[in-house]
A and B are shown apart, each in its own frame.
Chain A
Amino acid sequence: MSESGQRPEDASGQEVKTTGHTWDGDLCEYDNPLPRWWLWGFYATVIFSLIYWLLYPAWPVADTFTKGLSRVTFEVDGEERSTHWNSRALLVREMQNSDAAQRQQEFLRVIDDSTLDDVLGNTDKLAFVNSYGQGMFGDFCAACHQTGGAGLMGVYPNLADDNWHWGGEVETIAGTITQGRLGYMPDFRDALDAQQRDAVAAYVLSLAGYEGDAERIARGEEIFQGREGGCYTCHRPDGTGLRSQGAPDLTNDIWSNIDVAGAEDDAARRALISQLVHDGVQREMPAFGDRLSDAEIKVLATYVHQFGGGQ
């Protein structure tokens, strides 16, 4: 260490080289040489970058870029494609050819060859269904039905409860996914006037277990079960609904079109149902039969069945 005012010295007492500038009277900066191998290391990185630029996409040029010599080959629908090196193409290839992808395909075949009982009773197969199904549900279903199948009131039915419009067996769910569904209830704006609709609403609420004005309910029953409304044709005389028509069960407190359970009072509940009878219902779920393989649909149906409401 140098005393104040002295030039720095090295261990053997020789004055060391500094940059020559002095701050605050005695602050100097060493000008020690870099080791030469460090310079070689720098040259090595320069050579590395030259090779890299040659092989991989590197330099932006106007609205394009240098593509590099390295290429990735992958298959799309059985057709071989080749592109400059990029990680998206690598991902496509990985998703097709990697060990994991092949094991996945293998497991998918196992599910395809297994009976439903076997799948539902086997933890390994079920675990695969739940993990692969989750991915597919996210890709194809969750946009409407929401992650976990909770659905959206008024638009997309809840798949996690045990209330099914078309049936909750794995086969029926698979059918729904394959063909899609058209949910339709005609509007009664001309057939029934406001008072009649109100009466029907009261009767429907009584089916679901709500109490109400007995006289109004009796009038509603007449309309529901008679020719005036004819509701019984699809909803069945007991209100449990014809599954072939996708008619919902009216005898429970689960509502997928209107939030009856959340309504404030009897009048509000009746108003909701009355409005629905006035408007009718038209809902559509697209068909996935031409987009997914049978095995995938089986996995997806089993996954949805697992949400907790499967029958």
Chain B
Amino acid sequence: MADSQYQARIPVYPRTVRGRFRNLKWGVLALAYGVYFLLPWVRWDRQHAANQAVLFDIPGRRFYLFDLLVHPQDIFWLAAVLIILALLLFLVTGIAGRVFCGYFCFQTLWTDVFMLIERWVQGDRAARMRLDRQGGGRPLVLKGITHALWLAVAFATGLTFTLYWANAPDLVVAFFTGQAAFAAYATTGLLTLTTYLLAGLLREQVCTYMCPYARFQSVMFDRDTLIVSYDAARGEGTQGRAKPMRGLRTREARQARGVGDCIDCGYCVQVCPVGIDIRHGLQYQCIHCALCVDACDTVMDGLKWPRGLVRYTSENALEGRRTRYFKPKTLGYAAPLVLIIVLLVWGIAHQTPLDASVSQVRQPLFVQLSDGSIQNSYEIKVHNKSQQPVVLELRLSGLDGAELDTGRIERLSLMPEQRTTLLARVRQDAPAGAPRQQDLMFELVPVEPEGMAVVRVESQFILR
């Protein structure tokens, strides 16, 4: 029983294939790797801050994204970005299936590169299968080289990830001279290990067993969703598929005998990176990489038969109905997606250089002074988010006869990115019959630089 309780991984030996989708995948891969590995090295001119184009500065609590500076209080942007990504995923999946899995997922991209290395060193499918059957030194050497190269790519991946969190040139030097922070080594080590394990050893097991996406894809799919499908009606005919034996070499001959177009060459199965047979229909293991489409197209081209025995199509199209793209579900995903994108862009475009907040001291809410007047205290927090020094004057408006007291602080000077807290007190001779609560406005008036907008923050004054 022990054997049936736990199943050893059935090795998958994907075969090389050329074609439209393979080229598209290489393109996406080149773009993704280019961005990922080069981005930390792009410099960006900033006057008072790091000159790295993309830098996630955790100790400094700010993220640099080219000309955009993200502060912790902008955490809503992250929420917006995550909502956008989720909606985009649902929308795209509803229309075109698991596009993300097949073309953009890190697991797919890195596995592709690892398979490429494997093929360079050990040869294609047949050669690799032979190596696995053979004993002796040669397979050991070839596999050793493969694993060494995998580890090298994994390490480059891990180190590059770490570079996003500190100044890249300094960190690389510090890393190799043993001067870097523990977190840098830990992050690089962890990423190296997981990259090696997931892309090198676990591969399709990640998609099949670990990733939840495969399991809920059926919720997002419907009969109009484009999926990689085998045209069973064409491939099987009435008598099923058959190899091109004598008398079955031409389409006409096959159709006459009720045999389908599928010549059962098995190429589509051999190229599959997750080791399934697409001719069994939609399966949760399928990542929709479309390599089987390329494989079948290659074979059909060779036979001079029309392409598309395996193709991107919807269930409706397979059954001869029209595929609908514009329907409530798609629009329901698209509308909030557009809304959130607009909100995010609006939010980013309407950043203020000065961030100020006023919180009234609530214990005690008000105090009577010896001359009979009432005093309220306020904690004013100011954050200079601009990239230049700022000098501010605090003023009060909207409260008749009130006096503002900031002690001996007359002006606030804030360096770029500096934030400070100021305690301010407001006094008013409580006139008889005045309302218990009055509104007031604090104005932070920039003295330097000129032309900067006045920041106004509302608060209230409590009399009793």
Say yes or no for A65: interface residue by CB 8 A criterion: no
Q: Confirm or deny: B363 has a beta carbon within 8 angstroms of a beta carbon on chain A.
A: yes
The 8 A CB mask of A17-37 against B (1 = contact, 0 = none) is: 100000000000000011111
Distance A202 CA – B437 CA, assembled complex (angstroms): 33
Instruction: Please tell me if the beta carbons of B367 and A158 are within 8 angstroms of each other in the complex.
Output: yes
Query: Which of B4-12, B97-105, B127-135 lies at the interface?
Result: B4-12
Q: Which of A37, A148, A158, A308 has the most CB of B within 10 A?
A: A308
In-complex Cβ contact of B8 among A36, A127, A308 (8 A): A36
Q: A34-B7, A35-B205, A150-B363 are in contact. Are A307 and B370 (CB under 8 A)?
A: no
- Contact check, A252 vs B372: say whether CB atoms are below 8 A apart: yes
User: For residue B438, which residues in chain A have a CB less than 8 angstroms away from its CB?
Assistant: none
A115-135 interface code vs B (CB 8 A; 1 in, 0 out): 001001101101100110000
Which residues of A sit under 8 angstroms from B422, Cβ to Cβ? 123, 126-127
Given contacts A37-B202, A37-B205, A162-B370, contact A127 B7 (CB under 8 A): no
Interface of B is mostly: mixed
Q: Which residues of B contact A150 (CB under 8 A)?
A: 363-364, 367
Indicate which residue in B4, B280, B370, B375 contacts A12 across the interface (CB closer than 8 Å).
Answer: B280
Whether A148 contacts B283 in the complex (CB less than 8 A), given A121-B409, A126-B409, A162-B369, comes out as no
- B369 & A34 in contact (Cβ 8 Å cutoff): no
Would A148 and B6 count as touching, CB distance under 8 A? no
Known: A37-B202, A120-B408, A123-B409. A309 touches B369 (CB 8 A): yes
Q: A11-B283, A34-B5, A35-B6 are in contact. Are A306 and B423 (CB under 8 A)?
A: yes
Assembly CA distance A39 to B6 (angstroms)? 7
Q: Is B408 a contact partner of A121 (Cβ separation < 8 A)?
A: yes
Alpha-carbon separation in the docked complex, A162 to B427 (Å) = 12
Cα distance A134–B283 in the bound complex, in angstroms: 62
A253 to B209, CA, bound (A): 76
- Does A160 lie within 8 Å of B367, measured CB to CB? yes
CB within 8 A of A38: which of B6, B368, B377?
Answer: B6
Q: Using an 8 Å CB-CB cutoff, how does the interface string of A292-311 with B read, 1 for contact, 0 for none?
A: 00000000000000111100
Given contacts A12-B277, A117-B408, A123-B420, contact A37 B367 (CB under 8 A): no
Residues of A within 8 Å of B, CB-based: how many? 38
Q: Are B375 and A36 in contact (CB under 8 A)?
A: no
B6 contact set on A, CB distance < 8 A: 33-36, 38-39
Q: What residues of B have a CB within 8 angstroms of the CB of A112 in the complex? A: none
**Nearest-neighbor residue (CB-CB) of B377 within chain A:** A308
Contacts of A39 in B (CB 8 A): 6
Q: Which residues of chain B are within 8 angstroms of A309 by Cβ–Cβ distance?
A: 367, 369
User: With an 8 A cutoff between CB atoms, is A266 at the interface?
Assistant: no
Docked complex Cα distance between A309 and B364 (Å): 12
Contacting pair A254 B368 (CB below 8 A): yes
> Is B342 at the interface (CB under 8 A from chain A)?
no
A163 CB within 8 Å of chain B:
yes
Q: Is the CB of B9 within 8 A of A253?
A: no
B407 contacts A120, C-beta separation under 8 Å:
yes
B29 to chain A, nearest CB (A): 26
Task: Specify which chain B residues have a CB less than 8 angstroms from the CB of A254 in the assembled complex.
Answer: 368-370
A179 within 8 A of B: no
Q: Mark B187-231, 1 if CB is under 8 A from A, else 0.
A: 000000000000000100100010000000000000000000000
A146 vs B364: C-alpha distance when bound (angstroms): 9
In the complex, how many angstroms separate the beta carbon of A164 from the nearest chain B beta carbon?
9
* Bound Cα distance A130, B413 (Å): 18
Q: Is the CB of B367 within 8 A of A306?
A: no
B303 at the interface (CB under 8 A from A): no
Question: Is B276's CB under 8 angstroms from A11's CB?
Answer: yes
B residues in contact with A34, CB < 8 Å: 5-7
Identity of the chain B residue whose Cβ is nearest the Cβ of A39 in the assembled complex = B6
**A37 adjacent to B9 (CB under 8 Å):** yes
Question: B412 contacts the other chain (Cβ, under 8 Å)?
Answer: yes
Q: Which residues of A contact B372 (CB under 8 A)?
A: 252-253
Residues on B lying within 8 angstroms of A by beta carbon are 4-9, 202, 205, 209, 276-277, 280-281, 283, 361-364, 367-372, 375, 377, 405, 407-409, 412-413, 420-423, 425
Q: List 26 A-B contacts (CB under 8 A).
A: A11-B280, A11-B281, A11-B283, A33-B7, A35-B7, A35-B205, A35-B209, A36-B6, A39-B6, A117-B408, A120-B407, A120-B409, A123-B413, A127-B420, A130-B421, A131-B421, A148-B361, A150-B364, A160-B375, A161-B370, A163-B370, A252-B370, A252-B371, A254-B370, A307-B377, A308-B423
Interface set of A (CB-CB < 8 Å, partner B) = 11-12, 17, 33-39, 117, 120-121, 123-124, 126-127, 130-131, 146-150, 158, 160-163, 249, 252-254, 261, 306-309
